[in-house]
């Protein structure tokens, strides 16, 4: 299954297909689009997720600059489908601008960002285990729980379990180096949690149809 198969299905059939994979893929498209636009990248193979996105949604290159139109299109989708705020994208723009000044900086930056997201989600999964069972209908409660967990990760310096202590410390270091706020982290994690809670039901429905 390609990265944007569900998004492509959504475009063709006009049905909702929101899931964690699509959210992560669209976020990568936005990151790569910002990088391409900022650095004047012309080789589309340097930004593979943008290449897939352009092909599937037939997005023309704006003003001869790769990344500009793709940035706006992916941003619009993320805002409409997942309710992300303006601030979410402003923080990405600022972080990329600060850390990706040349093409040589890009790989190290994206590697650091991926480590940040992986450690953050692993830690949240550990700390919010029972809270994941809260029904999705209680969005406000889940949002508050997520916000509190993120605040604890960013401010609590001592944890009982060694693995939690080490991962929390790593996440705080990533946060400071990349320049993301607690609000950004909450917005990202909350969307992943909400989408992940829906996926088992969708998978069961698909298995019944097959």
- Domain definitions of the chain by residue range: 1-84, 102-196
Sign for the CA dihedral angle at 16, 21, 27, 32 comes to: negative
Q: Is 142 in contact with 186 (CB distance < 8 Å)?
A: no
- pLDDT beneath 50, residues of the chain: 1-16, 202-210
> What residues are paired with 65 via a beta bridge?
62
Q: Is 46 in contact with 67 (CB distance < 8 Å)?
A: no
Query: Token pair of 129, please?
Result: 């285990």
What is the per-residue pLDDT for 209? 47
What is the per-residue pLDDT for 136? 64
What is the per-residue pLDDT for 81? 93
Helix, strand and coil percent figures for the chain, each rounded to 5: 75, 0, 20
What is the secondary structure of 111-127 as a DSSP string? HHHHHHHHHHHHHHHHH
Query: Which of these, 98, 152, 111, lies nearest to 128 by C-alpha position?
Result: 152
Query: Token pair of 154, please?
Result: 């960013």
Number of other residues whose CB lies within 10 A of the CB of residue 121: 17
What is the per-residue pLDDT for 11? 46
Give pTM, 2 decimals.
Answer: 0.84
């Amino acid at each position: 299954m390609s990265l944007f198969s569900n998004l492509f299905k959504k475009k063709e059939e006009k049905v909702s297909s929101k899931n964690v994979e699509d959210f992560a893929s669209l976020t990568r498209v936005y990151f790569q689009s910002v990088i391409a636009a900022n650095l004047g990248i012309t080789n589309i193979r340097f930004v593979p997720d943008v290449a897939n996105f352009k092909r599937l949604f037939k997005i023309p290159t704006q003003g001869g600059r790769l990344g500009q139109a793709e940035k706006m299109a992916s941003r619009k989708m993320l805002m409409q489908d997942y309710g992300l705020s303006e601030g979410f994208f402003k923080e990405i723009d600022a972080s990329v601008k600060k850390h990706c000044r040349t093409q040589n900086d890009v790989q190290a930056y994206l590697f650091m960002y991926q480590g940040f997201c992986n450690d953050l989600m692993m830690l949240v999964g550990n700390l919010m285990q029972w809270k994941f069972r809260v029904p999705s209908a209680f969005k406000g409660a889940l949002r508050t729980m997520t916000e509190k967990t993120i605040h604890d990760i960013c401010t609590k310096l001592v944890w009982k379990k060694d693995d939690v202590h080490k991962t929390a410390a790593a996440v705080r270091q990533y946060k400071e180096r990349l320049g993301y706020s607690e609000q950004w982290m909450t917005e990202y994690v909350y969307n992943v949690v909400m989408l992940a809670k829906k996926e088992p039901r969708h998978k069961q429905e698909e298995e019944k149809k097959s």
